[in-house]
Amino acid sequence: MVRFAEKRELILLTDRPPQLETPLRYFRQDLTPNEAFFVRWHVAGIPTHIDTRVFRLQVDGHVQRPLSLSLDDLRRRFEPVSVIAIAQCSGNGRSLFEPRVQGGQWRQGAMGNALWTGVRLRDLLEAAGIRAGAVDVSFDGLDEPPLASIPDVVKSLAVDRARESDVMVAYEMNGEPLPMLNGFPLRLVVPGWYATYWIKALSRVTVLDRAFEGFWMAKAYRIPNNPEGAEIPDHLAADTIPINRFTVRSIFVRPEPEEPVALGRPYEVEGVALDYGAGIRQVEVPLDNGVHWADARLDPELGKYSFRRWRYRWSPLARGPNRLMVRATNNDGVGQPIHHWNRSGFMRCVIENVQVNVV
């Protein structure tokens, strides 16, 4: 555990750059508090101070009127919008992959659910006037690689995705300015898509008349070309595409792994389910070794990009180690697989289990 500015004690993965994981217990709330929200940066040269009087967001490239917008301009000239959406790292749950894979060894806390407020990216692009022939839009933040050999973190979206009304430039998180470590003063919010696209300390939006070729799109964050980004260790996929929307998943929040649970006393099991925005329809737990499954109770829906919390009453009847399982299905009928793997530890969606100790 470690404590960074504006943060509570979080699980430390690395300190330069800061990579901090949210302890599971915070997912017993609908919204993840800013001070407990996970942190992930790729490069050590992160912004630690912003002069908000001189900060400008540039919107440039293949546009009719390049814009240079102050934070006041954003608030005054554009309609404010809000959405509850999960930010989830592509590698959330990576430490649970079998066989093990390289990369940050996150458990399930490389995600969080927040109310984001800001302006539609589409409105900014319209104000700048996208010119005919636009292909991609790239996003760059104020972080800088410490060495010239390390590629700057720049991501892109196809122009059609960038123009969808749910993509935002957010200046608030849970009703407050973004914490510095979560991208103050502005970040991109791409609901339903992995947080690799949610560029923090966003300072430049560039419309391109050709495909963006940067390292973080062309080389990193690529997945096998299928909906779960799955492949098998002995037969790695040759056809890869940039990672995009979330898989369907469901995790245990309580009990936590190896937690002692009292025999014969009803225990309220809790978890969260999520998907790419179709919405969670059903969460189930096995009754008799998985022959039949019973419905968990779903908490009220908070929006299609939000966590869907679930719970059920479990009566532990056998002393010793007990293994609980959970699976979710979304409104498109997409469920969860028994096996799921890829070399990068991305897009975890396998049916989860937790082992608890009944005493």
How many separate helices (H) and strands (E) can be counted in the chain?
4, 24
153 touches ligand MTE (CB under 6 A):
yes
Is residue 86 within 8 A of residue 274, CB to CB? The reply is yes
Using CB under 5 A, which residues numbered 171 to 200 contact Mo ion?
196
200 touches ligand MTE (CB under 6 A):
yes
Determine which residue in the list 95, 108, 196, 336 makes contact with ligand MTE, applying CB under 6 A.
196
Number of residues binding to Mo ion, judged by CB under 5 A:
4
Q: Which two tokens stand for residue 217?
A: 């799109």
Number of residues binding to ligand MTE, judged by CB under 6 A:
19
Give, as one character, the DSSP assignment of residue 10.
Answer: B
Is residue 158 within 8 A of residue 139, CB to CB? The reply is no
143 touches ligand MTE (CB under 6 A):
yes
Least separation, in Å, of the C-beta of 96 and ligand MTE? 17
Least separation, in Å, of the C-beta of 182 and ligand MTE? 4
Helix (H/G/I), strand (E/B), else coil: 313:
strand
Q: In the chain, where does DSSP find H-type helix?
A: 71-77, 121-128, 159-162, 215-218
Using CB under 5 A, which residues numbered 62 to 121 contact Mo ion?
89-90
Q: What, of Mo ion, ligand MTE, none, does residue 198 touch, CB below 5 to 8 Å by kind?
A: ligand MTE
Least separation, in Å, of the C-beta of 150 and ligand MTE? 11
Q: CB neighbours of 238 closer than 8 A, spacing ≥ 6?
A: none
Q: Which stretch binds Mo ion (CB under 5 A): 36-44, 165-173, 185-193, 236-244?
A: 36-44
Q: What gap in Å lies between CA 283 and CA 269, rounded to an integer?
A: 12
Q: What, of Mo ion, ligand MTE, none, does residue 22 touch, CB below 5 to 8 Å by kind?
A: none
Specify burial of residue 23 (Cβ count, 10 A radius: 0-12, 13-18, 19+). Answer: middle
89 touches ligand MTE (CB under 6 A):
yes
Least separation, in Å, of the C-beta of 178 and Mo ion? 17
Q: What gap in Å lies between CA 97 and CA 338, rounded to an integer?
A: 12
> Applying CB under 6 A, which residues contact ligand MTE?
37-42, 87, 89, 141, 143, 153, 182-183, 195-196, 198-201
